[in-house]
Amino acid sequence: MIPHERSLVDKWKDRPFALLGVNSDKTSTDKGMALYKEKQKEMGVTWRSFRNEGNTPNISDDWRVRGWPTLYYIDHEGVIKHKNIRGEAEMETVLEEMIEAAEAAAKK
């Protein structure tokens, strides 16, 4: 999961794409933060994440997340286009289409 995500971030780094996380590792606590930093280095997590906890309600409650990981595909206008596509090949196809649409819109 994480290596594939990192490859997407690298692949599209010059195009209108962002991977954003909502992280549930309790980084508001010292213990959670220490673990996060250690794992972040080890696994090569290069993208930004919201803290899930400490928001009222938790972001995952607001978004009715029932299982982890959960993925939402949001287009350049902020509209939800897909949910929970997990297969790597399909993820890339769908995102490529969305990125092209974002680029086309930016040219207008």
Partner 1 sequence: MLRYALAAALLLSIPAGVVAQSDVTTGSQQDPQAAYQVLSKSYAKAMSAWQDELEATIMKAKEAGERVPRSAYAPPSGDFVSTAQEHAKEYAGTDAAVPFLGFILKNATRERNAVKWAVKTLASEHVDSKAIGDVVDYLPKVSRMAGRSARSLLSDVADNHSNKTVRVKALLARARQNGAADKAEEAVADLELVTELTTDADLLAEAKEALAEVQKLAVGTPAPEIDGVDVDGVNFKLSDYRGKVVLLDFWGFW
Residues that bind partner 1 (CB under 8 A): 1, 5, 8, 16-25, 27-28, 33, 35-36, 39, 43, 48-52, 54-55, 59-60, 62-66, 68-83, 91, 95, 98-99, 102, 106
Which residue number, 3 or 64, has a Cβ lying nearer to partner 1? 64
CB of 89 vs partner 1, minimal distance in Å: 15
Asked if 54 and 28 touch (Cβ cutoff 8 Å), the reply is: yes
The sign of the torsion formed by the CA atoms of 87, 21, 28, 58 equals negative
Query: If 0-12 CB within 10 Å is exposed, 13-18 middle and 19+ buried, where does residue 13 land?
Result: exposed
CB of 18 vs partner 1, minimal distance in Å: 5
CB of 22 vs partner 1, minimal distance in Å: 5
